[in-house]
Amino acid sequence: MASLHQFLSFFFLSIFIIKGNSLSKSPPTSFSCGDDVDFAYPFWQRSQKTEHFGYPSLGVSCINKMSTIQLDNHLYRVKNVNNTMKSLVVSFYKLGDAICPVAPHDVSINASTSFLSYANNVKLIHFFYNCTVYPSGVEPIKCLQVGAKHSYVFLDGLVPKFDWKTNCESLVTIPMNIENSITTNIGKAMKEGFELNWSSNVECASCEASGGLCIYDNEQTFYCSCGKGGHYANCREQGLVSSNYFKLGLLSIGLVICCVAIAITILYIVKRRKDGIYKQGFNRLPMSGK
């Protein structure tokens, strides 16, 4: 009987492993890193290795309980999310001096690949750092002055004509929410970050419009989930996605193994009960023969 036990546990373990590898039928209703930002679909946790519900660019990594997101190979801190407005507010992950910070790098959001775009309350601003020659009549950023090196900031479209490229050490362009002013407190504005809107692409929008949720894998291949497990193009046609036959195969194998295991269990129980009844009957025999 020990061998039958081993046999059964092996099969149940295999089923568990097959099940454990597959994606659950629905995404978590919400998750958080432990700060006060709550995420839900289309956000997902980057710790998921193979497939995930949610848009590729909205993968969240928790770093020391801080919600972060990766855009264009740079890490940003997520400060706020509004699923109704499909918007999020992000800021630079690392900003040195809070009073007079330097923009660490350009922010470039590629709307065509990231599903993200600037919200309409965002404006671009241009920094010109450590200029050794400067145009007359423009105010430098006082707190960034180092000897004869001056730094400047201008709203997009309001940059004075000047050869900034030749005369300054670095040029950085970043977005900023328009509620903030570049003349009063640029440090505060940078700390507050900027707002982005997310949207889905055509195939994902079609999936969502049919009542499904979008799934992507590491290669950013798209599938539609219709809440029953399985992968579809969308939930109206319910056609299984062909490239997924392999997983369907695994599922079938799992089902077959499951059936066999159940059959064996039933046989085993029936056999034990038969043995038991036989023994009981035998024990009772002398008494009933009174």
Ligand X SMILES: *[C@@H]1O[C@H](CO)[C@@H](O)[C@H](O)[C@H]1NC(C)=O
Tell me which residues touch ligand X (CB under 6 A): 82, 84-87, 102, 110, 112-113, 119, 129-130, 146, 149, 169-170, 195, 197
Residue 14 or residue 80: which is nearer to ligand X going by CB? 80
Residue 196 or residue 207: which is nearer to ligand X going by CB? 196
- Alpha-carbon distance of 133 to 150, in angstroms, equals 8
Residue 50 or residue 112: which is nearer to ligand X going by CB? 112
- Alpha-carbon distance of 77 to 191, in angstroms, equals 10
Cβ 239 to ligand X, closest distance in Å? 28
Cβ 130 to ligand X, closest distance in Å? 4
Residue 74 or residue 149: which is nearer to ligand X going by CB? 149
Residue 146 or residue 287: which is nearer to ligand X going by CB? 146
Cβ 253 to ligand X, closest distance in Å? 38
Cβ 170 to ligand X, closest distance in Å? 5
Cβ 147 to ligand X, closest distance in Å? 7
